[in-house]
Amino acid sequence: MEAFESTIQIGISACLAGEKVRFDTGHKRSNFCMDELGNYVEYKKFCPEVAVGMSIPRATIRQVRVGDTIKVCRPDGSGDVGQSLTAYGERVATEQAKELSGFVFCAKSPSCGMERVKVYNEAGTGNSSEGIGFFAAQIMKHNPNLPCEENGRLSDRHLRENFVMRVYVYKHWQTLNLDCVGVHELTRFHAKHKYLLMSHNYEAYKALGRLLGNAVGHDIEEIKAQYISHLMQGLSRPASRKNQANTLSHLQGYFKNVLSKIEKQELCEAIEQYREGIVPLYVPLTLLKHHLTVHSNDYLTEQVYFNPYPNALKLRFGI
């Protein structure tokens, strides 16, 4: 069931890759990105501040509100690079990011932060955490389906698992020959991702089913655009224990006629213990995978839910 052959490229802020490109010649290397996830993906590194001509070392920059606009400049208000960062971000977003399956940004950076970047008042006497990094903003604006995350949030095991899962799903989508994809191929893709989406957002699963069910006679390009947009939005919500347990119960139903009474009880108890937070997701999943090995089912074997990414990443051990 586990087959990940295509090379996955992820964009990353260069400082998170360990490159000494920060204003003080330092870095903010992400051990998870480089030592764990890095074994399965290739990174394309970006330092927008260096890319627009800033030196190493350099003076610090911040976002500063001046009237109705925001500058990215030194604390004294000089050296505004806001327009340069925006132009560079737009160029990367439109020329390079289309080949990426995800992006990891440096949190709180005036160029790379995804959210909650400090925006100072012109006098420098106060700030609010309402900004978005100028470079990151362009990447996300022009690639709204691209899975993006910040290094700090990847410390949360649920957000970490969710990000990696979305990267692999998005890569699955990118490997389709979209010029040749019709309703049949879309429906098959949806069927493979059925239980994964159900575990994250049941409403999105039903809505996409209706979209495909009514697709005949409509513009297929518009259907494809709507499908991937709603799919990635639906998967962006980390799966709750309740939704996961309900999904596991649905999967259990496929084995109701082949398991012994003791096996059924064991599986029910594992799912309930997961629901109650006693055991991680990996416990009932392992049981289901075992039964699927013994009692083969072609439809379940194709379900991405069982192996959304390499098991060696151990992302389901802690959720």
Query: What does the alpha-carbon distance between residue 318 and residue 67 come to, in Å, rounded to a whole number?
Result: 47
Same domain as 171, residue 139: no
More confident residue, 189 or 179: 189
Same domain as 142, residue 19: yes
Residue that finishes a domain, picked among 104, 132, 155: 155
Task: Give the ranges where 143-260 is alpha helix by DSSP (H).
Answer: 157-175, 183-192, 194-200, 202-213, 220-235, 241-252
Q: Is the whole-model pTM more than 0.85?
A: yes
Structurally, the chain folds into a number of domains equal to: 2
> Pairing relation of β-strands 117-120 and 42-46?
unpaired
**Residue 1 maps to a domain:** no
Same domain as 186, residue 141: no
| pLDDT of 6 higher than 90 | no
**Residue 3 maps to a domain:** no
**Residue 2 maps to a domain:** no
pLDDT of residue 195: 98
| pLDDT of 136 higher than 90 | yes
pLDDT of residue 2: 55
Same domain as 147, residue 95: yes
pLDDT tens digits for 266-289?
A: 999 999 999 999 999 999 999 999
Tell me what percent of the residues of the chain surpass a pLDDT of 70: 98
> Domain range spanning residue 209?
164-319
Residue that finishes a domain, picked among 155, 181, 205: 155
**Residue 175 maps to a domain:** yes
Residue of 247, 232, 246, 227 whose CA lies nearest to 305? 247
Same domain as 168, residue 134: no
Same domain as 250, residue 128: no
Distances 142 to 111, 136, 183, 288 between C-alpha atoms, Å: 16, 10, 26, 40
**What's the whole-number average pLDDT of the chain?**
95
Residue that finishes a domain, picked among 106, 131, 155: 155
| pLDDT of 3 higher than 70 | no
Tell me if residue 46 falls in helix, strand or coil. strand
**Residue 216 maps to a domain:** yes
